[in-house]
Amino acid sequence: MGNGTSIGRVRGLGSAHEGTHHWWHQRLTAGSNLILVLWFVLSIALLPAYDWETIHAWVSQTSVAVPLILLIVSTFYHFRLGLQVVIEDYQHDETRIVALVALNFFTLAASATAIFAVLKTAFTAGAI
């Protein structure tokens, strides 16, 4: 018996059921990024000054540090989702796995560094 036609080989396999999950997460992070970036821009615009002491005192507030961390997490997750699609669509050889692993490590390292910076600033505000 032969291999059959192209459609016959794939009929009944169905989808991987990952596209909807990925699409939904990308839309949710886009919405949260919109809200959090608007909050960030308005908060910065309403500050009385832009010197180091004012920014440091501003970030040390809980009502600022928590949304900043949420903005970091949402932005980097959205970044990873978008670049994952680009890599999967345009990289077709074995280097695709390497690129996806490098993307995950970079995203984790960069977001951890940003979160650490916010936490360090928030927790050392009174120690100046």
Provide the b/e sequence for 79-93 (b: ≥16 CB within 10 Å).
bbbeebeebeeeeee
Assigned token pair, 118: 């916010």
Among the listed residues 66, 84, 76, 69, the one whose alpha carbon sits nearest the alpha carbon of residue 23: 84
Name all domains of the chain by residue range, CATH numbers in brackets: 21-127 (1.20.1300.10)
Q: What are phi and psi of 96, to 5 degrees?
A: -60, -40
106 Cβ contact partners less than 8 Å away, ≥ 6 residues apart: none
What pLDDT tens digit does each residue of the chain (128 aa) get? 456 677 666 666 656 666 788 889 999 999 999 999 999 999 999 999 999 999 999 999 999 999 999 999 999 999 999 999 999 999 888 899 999 999 999 999 999 999 999 999 999 866 65
